């Protein structure tokens, strides 16, 4: 077996988490009287180390009969309360919407976050 094949079957280790990211809560705000769209703001954040993998080609997540393209798969240490209502902010300013949260091996050590890219922070707040 080649080293590359072993690497894909190896369990994630703490040393694999090499990029800092921010987990953010998002809050919807009522629109102003003359506005049609809800406002979106980000509050509190949790800074964690992560392993970020981008997906190649088109991978789709089927949730509530809507297909959403998966752009990133992110692994982090287990953090209580992480859910699909949160967004991830990368260091380059990109915002990722969490589509699914998986407790890897059900042992409360690592989480796998399946995400879709929402663009930069300023643009994401107008698209949600």
> Is residue 8 one of the residues assigned to a domain?
no
pLDDT band for position 31 (cuts 50, 70, 90): low
> Is residue 99 one of the residues assigned to a domain?
yes
Quote the domain boundaries for residue 88. 13-127
> Is residue 31 one of the residues assigned to a domain?
yes
Tell me which of 46-55, 56-65, 104-113 is least confident.
56-65
Please name the helix (run of DSSP H) or strand (run of DSSP E) that holds residue 124, with its range, or none.
Answer: helix 121-127
Please name the helix (run of DSSP H) or strand (run of DSSP E) that holds residue 125, with its range, or none.
Answer: helix 121-127
Average the pLDDT over 41-45 and give the result.
Answer: 67
> Is residue 27 one of the residues assigned to a domain?
yes
Instruction: Check pLDDT > 90 for residue 40.
Output: no
Higher pLDDT pick, 25 / 111 = 111
* Three-state secondary structure of 13-64: CHHHCCEEEEEEEEEEECCCCCCCCCEEEEEEEEEEEEEEEEEEEEEEEEEC
Q: What total of structural domains would you count in the chain?
A: 1
> Is residue 6 one of the residues assigned to a domain?
no
Q: What is the pLDDT of residue 79?
A: 92
Q: What is the pLDDT of residue 68?
A: 74
Q: What is the CATH number of the domain that holds 54?
A: 2.40.10.270
Instruction: Check pLDDT > 70 for residue 128.
Output: no
Q: What is the pLDDT of residue 76?
A: 96
Reported as a single tens digit per residue, the pLDDT across 78-112 is 999 899 888 999 988 899 999 999 999 899 999 99
């Amino acid at each position: 077996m080649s080293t590359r094949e072993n690497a894909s079957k190896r369990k994630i280790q703490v040393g694999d988490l090499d990029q800092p990211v921010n987990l953010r809560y998002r809050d919807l705000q009522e629109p102003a009287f003359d506005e049609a769209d809800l406002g979106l703001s980000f509050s509190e954040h949790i800074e964690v180390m992560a392993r970020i993998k981008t997906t190649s080609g088109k991978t789709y997540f089927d949730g509530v009969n809507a297909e959403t393209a998966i752009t990133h798969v992110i692994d982090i240490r287990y953090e209580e309360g992480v859910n699909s209502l949160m967004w991830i902010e990368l260091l380059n300013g990109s915002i990722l919407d969490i589509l699914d949260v998986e407790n890897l091996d059900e042992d409360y050590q690592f989480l796998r976050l399946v995400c879709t890219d929402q663009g930069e922070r300023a643009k994401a707040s107008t698209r949600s």
